[in-house]
Amino acid sequence: MSLSRLALRLAAIEALNPFALQSAATPIWPTGAEGRVLDSQLTPESFADEASKRLPVIAVFSDEAKTEAYGTAQDALIDGADHATLAFEIMVPAVMKLDDGGSYIVPAVALDPLAEAMLDMIDEQVRQVLTDARMSKPLCEILDTVTRVESKPWRDADLDTRLSALRVEFDCKLRKTDRRPPASAAGFDRLPEPLRSVARSLPEGSYGRGVCDVVAAALGSSAAFTQIAELRLAANMARVAGDAAPPVLDPAADPPTGDLAGSVPLITP
């Protein structure tokens, strides 16, 4: 489920910020946010220049996820369908400076009718982009159906003031996954479906393709998962009356055979 959620987010980012347009002389962007599309981040460093110009941005998140059993199946681990919430936070940002020199991102408070119309326009453009993109790669490799769309304007929790931001949520049913790539797989073949197909359909050199390269390499390297690789199980074992005779003691064998003295230390990551 987790890598399906990643596949959904990367496919959506490519739809909103096509790699082919990033080097175009006069790109025609799908939304009013143009190329200001962020992956799961809202930090001052991400778009400080754009924030100072009061230009809209879109941050893409893949949030709540669940797996539901297919049909009459009783076990979602064996035969289940993945669902995930794809969320877009659309805002006109402002950078707040702190006395200690730090900074953080907030939605701009002053929301005039034109700014509100801009946010609503981008909200509608996101829906149109997803409607069109779901018919082609990479989004068609991961998105099956959308069961709910909800748009939530932001308000200041203390002052109940409307902020220049919207959160648009899409509840998505994802395409069936294949969780067990062969142990001998290499490259993108290490990735489970549907991330494998999404990765292969992302443009070479794109942001999403780079993320998939890192994940595929990590899945093939035990060094990337040190805590898991270093887990050990220790158990006390002894013979009792009625057990078969032990094999001939041979501590030099690999693995050793016979009743060996000593203990196995418990190693934790």
Q: For residue 252, is it within any domain?
A: no
Q: Say how far residue 155 (Cα) sits from the centre of its chain.
A: 27
Q: For residue 137, is it within any domain?
A: yes
Which domain CATH number covers 168? 3.30.70.1700
Whether residue 29 contacts residue 11, with contact meaning beta carbons closer than 8 Å, is answered with no
Q: For residue 210, is it within any domain?
A: no
What pLDDT, on the 0 to 100 scale, is given for residue 189? Answer: 87
CA distance 135 to 213: 25
Per-residue pLDDT tens listing for the chain (269 residues): 678 999 999 999 999 999 999 999 999 999 999 998 999 876 655 555 554 456 888 999 999 888 887 776 677 766 678 899 999 999 887 666 666 766 656 666 656 677 788 889 999 999 999 999 999 999 999 999 999 999 998 877 666 677 788 999 999 999 876 656 666 678 888 888 899 999 999 999 999 999 999 898 888 765 554 444 444 445 556 667 777 776 777 777 777 777 766 555 544 44
Give me the DSSP letters along 223-251.
GGGHHHHT----------TTPPPPPPPBT
What pLDDT, on the 0 to 100 scale, is given for residue 44? Answer: 54
Q: For residue 162, is it within any domain?
A: yes
Structural domain including 12 reads 2-176
Show Cβ contacts of residue 68 under 8 Å, excluding neighbours closer than 6 positions: 76, 80, 81, 83
Q: For residue 106, is it within any domain?
A: yes
What pLDDT, on the 0 to 100 scale, is given for residue 110? Answer: 59
Q: For residue 208, is it within any domain?
A: no
Strands (E), the chain: 37-39, 57-69, 80-91, 93-97, 103-107, 143-155, 162-174
CA distance 133 to 21: 15
Q: For residue 133, is it within any domain?
A: yes
What pLDDT, on the 0 to 100 scale, is given for residue 237? Answer: 63
Kindly give the pairing relationship between strand 57-69 and strand 37-39.
parallel
What pLDDT, on the 0 to 100 scale, is given for residue 95? Answer: 64
Whether residue 215 contacts residue 192, with contact meaning beta carbons closer than 8 Å, is answered with no
Q: For residue 67, is it within any domain?
A: yes
Query: For the chain, what is the domain count?
Result: 1
Token look-up 């197909």 returns: 197
Kindly give the pairing relationship between strand 80-91 and strand 57-69.
antiparallel
What pLDDT, on the 0 to 100 scale, is given for residue 41? Answer: 73
